[in-house]
């Protein structure tokens, strides 16, 4: 089979990345442009743009394999904000190739999360249809434009179109492999709840000389509040936060400890003087199996002599087990309000998108088929079963509404600067990914219709 060349895919990717589909700030016209570009690549599957109450989705279906399973391919066309432009070594919405051979990468916002991984799947489907005139199974496609903001409008859309989206299995082109040194599959992802903690005092910013020492400073109060969220042992100090979190069994601890993981190399790779976190757990145990509460940003005042009237901390909690996002948000809200800081008012505004943790059993047939596909592309290498420490909101939604498990099968890698300046994608993964997706689709075609959902093992 003739697969598209790297040069052909890079040319398409350049067009795609040039559309700045940042779902936090882009206007609806830009998001529709990105959706339309993607729908055009789905012409073989009646690709089209459909509206939601937020940004549109891209839909498509190729149902020319009677009696074969139906797989829903999921991904997203929105990207994260660029962050500080000064930290980029190349323009964020232009693709730039660096290096050569197996070390060659392409840089640009969205190249690995999730435009490159989606593009290779569509390129493969077109190539298979051009050569064989058919695909080995039925495929439906759903690509959204709000994944990076928690998919707030996807649930209503999926529920309204559940019959059209019915599938035996969902395969996500989102959700990176653990690292580039070996093939891996993720059997879980963390949930997410995000909130702004807002501290206010005066009705306006005040001159720090004229009013200093007479009123409460919201920044000081917010610093006290933020410091109270964790204990000296690194654990979250919010009553009820750990409800639904099971303690790691000795067997699971041993299993994680057996993974080849160099803590010193990890420390060096992120550029910190030392690693930190909840005591009693190794770095990898914390990363894969423990929930977190992080302060992602603080906004207040500036480099001028005022007492700010308002200070805001943006807080996100990554969830595991059966933690309830609403219960976690309520626990954090109660914690900050109970501090009763003098001279200020405290409010918590929880983001609309809230996602529980997700898990697929490692013995699920989809995991076994995906492992076989990776072994075909990476002969002689063991397939690592890992955990996505980030969040993919759609996985629990598809399970709840469609009754279908989600297999994460992305050819992005977790070290490719996701959400950060200088995002990149390893160019060799285009070819590796297309070969693996082809092997996976061929393997799945042997299952009976509804077979995947029927034999799935509950988490």
User: Three-state SS string across 70-99, please?
Assistant: EEEEEEECCECCCCCHHHCCCCCCCCEEEC
Q: Which domain holds residue 379?
A: 6-189+357-455
Domain boundary among 327, 350, 373: 350
Flag whether 417 is in a domain: yes
313 and 443 part of one domain? no
Flag whether 273 is in a domain: no
Flag whether 250 is in a domain: no
Flag whether 266 is in a domain: no
Pairing of strands 306-307, 206-207: antiparallel
Q: Decide: helix, strand or coil at residue 369.
A: helix
Q: Tell me, what CATH number does 217's domain have?
A: 3.30.70.360
198 and 137 part of one domain? no
The pLDDT of residue 454 is: 39
36 and 170 part of one domain? yes
Query: Alpha helices of 142-259 — where are they, by DSSP H?
Result: 154-160, 162-165, 218-227, 250-257
Flag whether 52 is in a domain: yes
- The percent of the chain in helix, strand and coil, each rounded to the nearest 5, is 35, 20, 45
Flag whether 232 is in a domain: yes
Pairing of strands 70-76, 138-144: parallel
Domain boundary among 307, 331, 350: 350
61 and 113 part of one domain? yes
330 and 207 part of one domain? yes
How far apart are alpha carbons 403 and 400 in whole angstroms? 6
Whole-model pTM?
Answer: 0.87
How far apart are alpha carbons 294 and 318 in whole angstroms? 8
Domain boundary among 350, 382, 398: 350
How far apart are alpha carbons 439 and 174 in whole angstroms? 18
202 and 158 part of one domain? no
CB 199 within 8 A of CB 346: yes
419 and 305 part of one domain? no
Flag whether 432 is in a domain: yes
422 and 315 part of one domain? no
Q: Which residues lie across from 114 on neighbouring strands?
A: none
Helix then strand count (H, E) for the chain reads 14, 18
Provide the greatest CA pair distance for the chain: 79
61 and 200 part of one domain? no
314 and 404 part of one domain? no
How far apart are alpha carbons 47 and 51 in whole angstroms? 13
For residue 47, give Cα distances in angstroms to 168, 227, 317. Answer: 21, 50, 36
The pLDDT of residue 354 is: 86
Flag whether 255 is in a domain: no
The pLDDT of residue 90 is: 97
CB 176 within 8 A of CB 389: no
Q: Tell me, what CATH number does 175's domain have?
A: 3.40.630.10
217 and 346 part of one domain? yes
What domain count does the chain have?
2
Kindly give the parts of the chain with pLDDT less than 50: 451-459
Q: Is the link from the previous residue into 449 a cis peptide, with omega within 30 of 0? A: no
**230: DSSP letter:** B
304 and 410 part of one domain? no
């Amino acid at each position: 089979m003739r697969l598209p060349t790297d040069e052909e895919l890079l040319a398409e990717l350049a067009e795609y990345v040039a559309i700045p589909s940042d779902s936090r700030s882009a206007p609806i016209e830009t998001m529709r442009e990105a959706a339309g570009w993607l729908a055009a690549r789905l012409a073989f599957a009646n690709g089209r743009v459909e509206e939601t109450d937020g940004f549109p989705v891209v839909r498509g279906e190729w149902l020319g394999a009677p009696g074969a399973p139906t797989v829903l391919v999921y991904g997203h066309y929105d990207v994260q904000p660029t962050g500080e432009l000064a930290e980029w070594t190349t323009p964020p919405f232009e693709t730039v190739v660096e290096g050569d051979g197996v070390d060659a990468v392409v840089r640009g916002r969205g190249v690995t999360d999730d435009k490159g991984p989606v593009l290779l799947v569509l390129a493969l489907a077109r190539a298979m249809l051009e050569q064989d005139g058919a695909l080995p199974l039925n495929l439906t496609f759903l690509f959204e434009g709000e994944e990076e903001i928690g998919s707030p409008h996807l649930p209503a859309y999926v529920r309204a179109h559940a019959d059209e989206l019915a599938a035996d299995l969902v395969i996500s082109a989102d959700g990176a492999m653990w690292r580039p040194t070996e093939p891996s599959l993720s059997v879980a992802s963390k949930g997410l709840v995000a909130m702004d903690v807002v501290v206010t005092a005066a009705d306006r910013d005040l001159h720090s000389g004229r009013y200093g020492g007479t009123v409460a400073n919201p920044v000081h109060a917010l610093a006290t509040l933020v410091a109270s969220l964790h204990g000296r042992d690194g654990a979250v100090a919010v009553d009820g936060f750990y409800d639904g979190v099971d303690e790691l069994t000795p067997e699971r601890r041993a299993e994680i400890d057996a993974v080849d993981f160099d803590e010193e190399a990890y420390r060096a790779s992120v550029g910190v003087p030392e690693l930190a976190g909840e005591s009693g757990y190794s770095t990898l145990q914390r990363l894969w199996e423990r929930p977190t509460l992080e302060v992602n940003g603080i906004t207040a005042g500036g480099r001028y002599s005022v007492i700010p009237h308002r200070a805001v901390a943006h807080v996100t909690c990554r969830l595991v087990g059966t933690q309830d996002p609403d219960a976690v948000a309520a626990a954090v809200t109660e914690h900050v309000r109970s501090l009763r800081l003098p001279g200020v008012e405290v409010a918590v505004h929880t983001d609309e998108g809230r996602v529980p943790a997700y898990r697929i059993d490692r013995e699920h047939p989809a995991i076994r088929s995906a492992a076989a596909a990776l072994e075909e592309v990476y002969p002689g290498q063991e397939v690592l079963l890992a955990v996505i420490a980030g969040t993919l909101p759609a996985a629990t939604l598809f399970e709840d509404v469609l009754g279908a498990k989600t297999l994460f099968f992305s050819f992005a890698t977790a070290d490719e600067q996701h959400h950060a300046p200088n995002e990149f994608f390893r160019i060799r993964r285009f070819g590796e990914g297309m070969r693996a997706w082809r092997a996976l689709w061929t393997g799945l075609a042997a299952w009976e219709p509804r077979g995947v959902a029927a034999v799935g093992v509950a988490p």
